[in-house]
Amino acid sequence: MDLSAHLKGAYFAIIGEEAAAMQLEVFVIGGFVRDIFLKRPVTDIDFVTNGDGIALAKNVAARLGVKKVDYFKNFGTAHFRFQGMDLEFVGARKESYTENSRKPIVSAGNIEDDQLRRDFTINALAIDLRPENFGQLVDPFDGVKDIQNKILKTPQNPDTTFSDDPLRMMRAVRFANQLGFQIEPQCKAAIQRNAERLRIVSMERIHIELNKIILCSKPSVGFNLLFDLQLLPQFFPEMVKLHGVEKRNGLAHKDNFYHTIQVLDNLCQTTDDLWLRWAAILHDIAKPATKRFEEGNGWTFHGHEELGARMVPKIFARLKLPLDEKMKYVQKLVQLHLRPIALTKEEISDSAIRRLLFEAGDDIDDLMLLCKADITSKNEVKVKKYLSNYELVKIKLEEVEKKDHIRNFQPPISGELIMSYFALAPCREVGIIKNAIKDAILDGVITNDYDAAFAYLVIQGAQLGLVKSPTYN
């Protein structure tokens, strides 16, 4: 098959010419070739040669007028950017692995060796760039047929493929989810046999693949595969514990694993924000630890939002996810996720709305998206009622925010002013007065402005037995 029409960049021919001048073979390989058949856009291209990939990259870069080439001698790879594309060069290689490491022992090889070491047949496709064979497809494992049949298969024995590099099991799930492919039954069985091998892979590599699954349009497909193939227990046992239903006295609770991934799918219809999606994944993570059966009430999960918020940093730390503002954002949404829903079950007071606005701050809109996604009941009457009340809460939030400007507000009276007015050093009374002013504003006792807050300061100080400093002006 001639694919030369798809090699639109002039650099493809130049790479082939430079390789020929060096008496080398060179091929474009992997995702770029696969995505020609899938009609997907690409931003990076891999080239493999049967010789020195670094030397070839430098010669090509000089020919193209590229001044900077990044290269890594230990891996025999080189990389540079040209016309908005990432071009990476590597020498063809053979790989062998030891039982306790995913780092291969590498030796020089040819194109056949390099294709054999690839994870899946759809990623082992190559296109010859030598001038005499320019555009010719090299497909020894029928990868094009597997693309047409939407099947994920390995070039060699799947047990060998997955045992050698266990991260490929995560990639199988990710590709199945991203591309809408099925994992071949033999590969599925091999993943289940080798699932525990995933534990030799660094959490950094695992969470990169996991995040790509989370960013799919319907990530429940990936999470179901991770669960069914026994991969999820290797790195995310808290989520596995959500699975299952317990029944007592004829009363059963919902399966919180399937509820969680349904919430995630719902949320994915309105946002592609990775960290908001993580909040969906973790919003009920503490339900197994807080589950109780109460006579007359049935199953309860009291306090799961508070415990869940405390679990977020531990889970992020173990998965090597960032322990910065992103983690704090997820933690906040987990802690607050019940608040809007609770408001739909009672008469909505301005005070409750002010407190929610104050605590959520600029994340109130994301919190509302999460809460709407959390409505997964199969009872159409309940869903209709919740959605109607949800819209009422949204309207009330907008009204109160417009009137009181509570979102991210700072009380108009500072601790320094309180200390100056009453001639106090830092002490408990300062905090009491400051919190009293904040609560009075949130409860609607006083308006959110300096004069009202200052007058309230005087009243609160008098109740604590404090008097104005004679030096205060």
For the stretch 330-381, pLDDT in tens is: 999 999 999 887 776 666 778 888 888 888 988 999 999 999 999 888 888 8
Phi/psi of residue 38, nearest 5 degrees: -90, -5
Q: Quick one: pLDDT band at residue 392, thresholds 50, 70, 90? A: confident
Q: How high is the pLDDT of residue 461? A: 86
For 352, the 3-state DSSP assignment is helix
> What does the CA dihedral 119, 124, 130, 131 come to, rounded to 10 degrees?
-150
Q: Which of 45-49, 154-158, 418-422 has the lowest mean pLDDT?
A: 418-422
Residue where the block lists tokens 């009340």: 389
Structural contact between residues 106 and 73, judged by C-beta atoms closer than 8 angstroms: no
d(CA 360, CA 281): 19
Span 399-404, mean pLDDT?
79
Q: Please give the CATH number for the structural domain made up of 4-149.
A: 3.30.460.10
**pLDDT surpassing 60 at residue 275:** yes
How many angstroms separate the CA atoms of 223 and 100, rounded?
Answer: 26
Which residues lie below 8 Å from residue 256, measured CB to CB, with a gap of 6+? 242, 243, 284, 287, 288
How sure is the predictor about 473, in pLDDT bands with cuts at 50, 70 and 90? Answer: confident
Per-residue pLDDT, 333: 98
pLDDT mean across residues, the chain: 91
pLDDT tens for each residue of 80-123 = 999 989 999 999 876 555 555 556 555 567 889 899 989 999 99
Count of H helices and E strands in the chain?
A: 24, 15
Q: What gap in Å lies between CA 202 and CA 319, rounded to an integer? A: 9
pLDDT 10s digits, 209-265: 999 999 999 999 999 999 999 999 999 999 999 999 999 888 889 999 999 999 999
For the cut 70, the answer to whether the pLDDT of residue 25 exceeds it is yes
What residue ranges in 50-146 does DSSP mark as E strands?
70-72, 77-82, 85-91, 93-96, 105-108, 126-128, 137-138
What pLDDT is stored for residue 457 in this prediction? 87
pLDDT at 314: 97
Domain boundaries, the chain: 4-149, 150-235, 415-463
Alpha-carbon span 464 to 473, nearest angstrom: 21
What is the distance between the alpha carbons of residues 104 and 114, in angstroms, rounded to a whole number? 13
The domain defined by 150-235 folds into Hydrophobic Seed Protein (1.10.110)
Alpha carbon separation from 310 to 17, 232, 286, 297, 318 (Å, rounded):
59, 21, 9, 26, 14
CA distance 231 to 310: 25
What's the pLDDT tens digit per position in 140-151?
Answer: 999 999 999 999
Q: Give the integer Cα–Cα distance in Å for 86 and 364.
A: 39
* The CA-based dihedral angle spanning residues 275, 277, 283, 286, taken in that order and rounded to the nearest 10 degrees: -80
Q: Looking at residue 399, what is its pLDDT?
A: 83
The region that residue 135 occupies, defined by phi over 0 for left and psi between -120 and 50 for alpha, beta otherwise, is left
More confident residue, 74 or 77: 77
Q: What is the pLDDT of residue 448?
A: 83
In the prediction, which pLDDT does 13 show? 95
Three-class DSSP labels, 58-79: HHHHHHHCCCCCEEECCCCEEE
The residue among 229 and 164 whose pLDDT is bigger is: 229
Does 321 have pLDDT greater than 90? yes
172 against 419, higher pLDDT: 172
pLDDT grade for 307, boundaries at 50, 70 and 90: very high
Please report the pLDDT score of residue 352 as a whole number: 83
For residue 435, is pLDDT > 80?
A: yes
Closest CA to 208 of 319, 87, 304: 319
Rounded (10°) angle between helices 325-336 and 364-373: 50
Q: Is 273 left (phi over 0), alpha (psi -120 to 50) or beta?
A: beta
Q: Give the mean model confidence (pLDDT) for residues 381-392.
A: 82
Which of the pair, 101 or 473, is modelled with greater confidence? 473
CB 146 within 8 A of CB 122: yes
Nearest CA to 216 out of 180, 170, 256, 167 is that of 180
Residue 378's pLDDT is 80
Instruction: With CA atoms as reference, report the closest residue to 122 among 61, 67, 182, 206.
Output: 182
